[in-house]
Structures are given as structure tokens and as C-alpha cells.
Amino acid sequence: MISAQTIVNQLIHQNAPYSPKTEGTAFAPVNIALIKYWGKRNNALNLPVTDSLSIGLRTLGTTTSIRLHQGQDIIYLNNERLPFDHPFAQRTSRYLDLFRRQPNDGFMVMTKNDVPTGAGLASSASGYAALVLALNDLFQWQLDKTQLSILARIGSGSACRSLWDGLVHWHAGQQDDGLDSYATPLVYQLPTLRIGLLTLSNKTKPVSSRIGMQQTVHGLSLYPAWKTMVDTHLTQITQAFEKQDINGIGKISEHNALAMHATMLSASPALCYFLPETLATLQTLWSAREAGLNCWATLDAGPNVKLLFEAETAHDVKKLFPDINIIQPFVS
């Protein structure tokens, strides 16, 4: 099995001049998948079973700065210094191990999320994308976006999609080394699309996506049907993008998200990220839709709900869900 270190060494030429700056900084947007990534063919390299497709939230994301220093890593999350054994610090340091020249090389990382960490609002995606961009800035690697997408994916799968605003397609690839598994931006613009974030819980989810995916893929579950469905949804959603059909996009996205949760429920032991509030929100939405509201839901590995709708519907959606945070992913 090819290791993450081998891939990193291949991408960052070890003989390249070593001239780090004092500090590297970067911002990367959160991305919300319309066609979800759920299930890996290689856990060490975060190689997915299927393609996926996302939209960047442009103004919401992670800002990270990084410096070199001697000794143990120092990690700040949202202005708070984390203890060395904090799971976030441990995972970040394990990833940074891939980029140390000497074992004693430490990093000081300061990272700030605009969304709650680990609550299914894709903070690990913007987090690892911002970290890779900040490392690229610090070390002046001058890697291209494909190479950066591969490095971000090794940190967290969905991070490979957070290097762009707008619509982004992650190609699953087929190679064992994953050098064909990266994201590319799509040309379609949807200036009237709005995404509404309904934060129902800020708590860190009890089962990480990482473990949840393994639980769903292995053993008897509906997972084989999920793979076929993703192919169909990718074809359908591309046609909807071409027609700028936001209701079509919403309908396919909601179907895809609920199908992903159905595969989780079909695993043994079953996995359920919904809270009672999640179901109540969906039922409110479905009733409103029956009454004529054009609005659709998508959900990730957590209890929070994201809504997709046209700008002209924003007023009605806000009336139904007063706490909603409405984002305009494309500049008009």
C-alpha cells in the first residue's frame, strides 16, 4: 500500500530550494456537497468510492496562518490554545508530520473557523484546504491547484473541493496512488441560487465521518445501491446546471442526501446523525413544499440542515425558518 508520505514526497520535490517565509496565511471556503462523498476505497489516502460535487460558500470558511518553530506543535483553534492531546491538535500534528524536514521541526498554527467545528458543517474541508494553502505560502512551493487538491484530500477527503468557490467536481480516480483523485472547478454559475444554513446543534458529532463511512461501507448495507445512485444523480444534476434549473438541482440534491442517510441507517450497527429537531425541520419543509414553497434540503454527517432555493423565495423561507443564515454562493 502506497503511503501518504510517498505521495507528499513525490509532489513536493525534496531537492527544491528550501526558503520558508516567516509566516504563511490562507483562507479556504466551506463547501456543501450536492452529490455526497460517502465511502472510501483507501482509508490512508482518503480515496473515495464515487465522484462527488459541491458548492463553495464563498464568504464562510477557515482562515489559517502557520509559522515554523522548534519543538512541539502549538495549535490555536478560534483563538484558544489547544492542549497537545486534544483530538483536533493530534490530527493536525499527524498531518503536519508529512511536511517536517527534521523530526524536531515544529509548527505554530492559528486557525479560525466561521462555522462550528465538527458539527457536520464541513469545517474539516475548509480547515485542511486552508492549511495546505498556508503551507504552500509558508514554504513557497508554488504548487498548482491539482497538486494542492491532492495534498488537501490526504488531510480530509472533502478538503480537496475547498480550493475553489462555486461548483466543484471531485473525480474519484482509479489509481492506487490517488494522483488521479482531485477536484476541478465547474464553469456553471448560478447567481440566483441561495443556500440557507439552519444550525440546529453546535455539538461535535458523536461518530466522525471517518468512522461512519467505514461502518457503512463494510458489512451488509444498501451501500452498493448508493454507488449506482450517485452515477445517475451526477448525470441528472449536470443537466440541471446546464438549464440553470435551481429546483431541479434542489430536488436531486435532497434525494442524494437522504439516500446517503438511508445507507447509514441500513448499516449494522445503524448510524443516525439526525436529531429530533432535524426531522421536525424536514417535516416543516416538506409541508411547506406541498403548499407550494420551492425549497430543498441537504444534510451532511450531522444534524444540521442546509436549504437550497431561488433568491425570489428567500423571503418566504426566512418566514418559515427565522434563524436561517442565507448565503449567496455566486456574486451576481
- Which positions lie near ligand 2P0, rule CB under 6 A? 33, 36-38, 46, 52, 122, 124-125, 156-158, 209-210, 300-301
CB of 140 to ligand 2P0, least distance (A): 27
Indicate the residue type of 175. Answer: Q
Closest separation in Å from C-beta 182 to ligand 2P0 = 14
- The residue (of 35 and 109) whose beta carbon lies closer to ligand 2P0 is 35
**Closer of 38 and 241 to ligand 2P0 (Cβ):** 38
State the minimum distance, in angstroms, from the CB of residue 36 to ligand 2P0.
4
**Would you say 95 or 139 has its CB closer to ligand 2P0?**
95
**Distance of closest approach, residue 219 Cβ to ligand 2P0, in angstroms:** 18
Q: Greatest CA separation found in the chain?
A: 64
Q: Helix (H, G, I), strand (E, B), or coil: what is residue 283? A: helix
Is residue 3 classed exposed, middle or buried when 0-12, 13-18 and 19+ CB atoms within 10 A define those classes?
exposed
CA distance 182 to 147: 8
Torsion of CA 282, 285, 287, 290, to 10 degrees: -130
Give the CB-nearest residue to ligand 2P0. 157
What's the Cα-to-Cα distance from 143 to each of 4, 123, 131, 137, 154, rounded to whole Å?
Answer: 17, 23, 14, 10, 15
Tell me how far, at minimum, the Cβ of 40 lies from ligand 2P0, in Å: 7
- Of the two residues 168 and 193, which places its CB atom closer to ligand 2P0 in the complex? 168
Q: Taking a C-beta distance cutoff of 8 angstroms, is the pair 15, 41 a contact?
A: no
Cβ at position 259, least distance to ligand 2P0 in Å: 11
For residue 112, what are the CA distances in angstroms to 64, 126, 145, 229? 6, 10, 22, 36
CB of 210 to ligand 2P0, least distance (A): 4
Q: Which is nearer to ligand 2P0, 24 or 56 (CB)?
A: 56
Closer CB to ligand 2P0, residue 64 or residue 124?
Answer: 124
In the complex with ligand 2P0, the residue whose CB is nearer, 46 or 149, is: 46
Q: What is the DSSP letter of 191?
A: T
Would you give the distance in Å from CA 41 to the centre of its chain?
18
Residue 55's beta-bridge partner residues?
Answer: 32, 167
